[in-house]
Amino acid sequence: GDIHPPHPRSSPGTASTVAAVPAVLSAVGFTSAGITASSLAAKMMSISAIANGGGVAAGSLVATLQSVGASGLCMSSKLLLGIAGSTLASKLVGL
């Protein structure tokens, strides 16, 4: 039998899902101008800062989401998100 795992398959929604990431981040408050006051992003930042003794740790989820919200996704990030999304979609539909 074949001992190699199956390759992730691209789903039709993968490209549109990846393209929507910056818009979704902006909608929850991770914008190019910074974190929007009273948003979900602001609440996440507050929780993260409290948990880390007053600051948001570099490389944390909040820092990463703000970075993507501020600058958009680079090609490697789009590729990784596309592969992850395809793999998840394949598992969800049983491919």
What's the pLDDT tens digit per position in 3-22? 555 555 555 565 566 667 77
65 with 87, same domain: the answer is: yes
What's the pLDDT tens digit per position in 11-57? 556 556 666 777 788 888 988 888 999 999 999 999 999 998 999 88
- Does residue 41 belong to any structural domain of this protein? yes
10 Å CB burial of residue 75 (0-12, 13-18, 19+) is: exposed
- Does residue 9 belong to any structural domain of this protein? no
> In which domain, by residue range, is 21 found?
16-52
Q: 72 phi and psi, to 5 degrees? A: 80, -175
22 with 48, same domain: the answer is: yes
pTM metric for this prediction: 0.57
39 with 64, same domain: the answer is: no
- Does residue 11 belong to any structural domain of this protein? no
How many domains does the chain divide into?
2
- Does residue 42 belong to any structural domain of this protein? yes
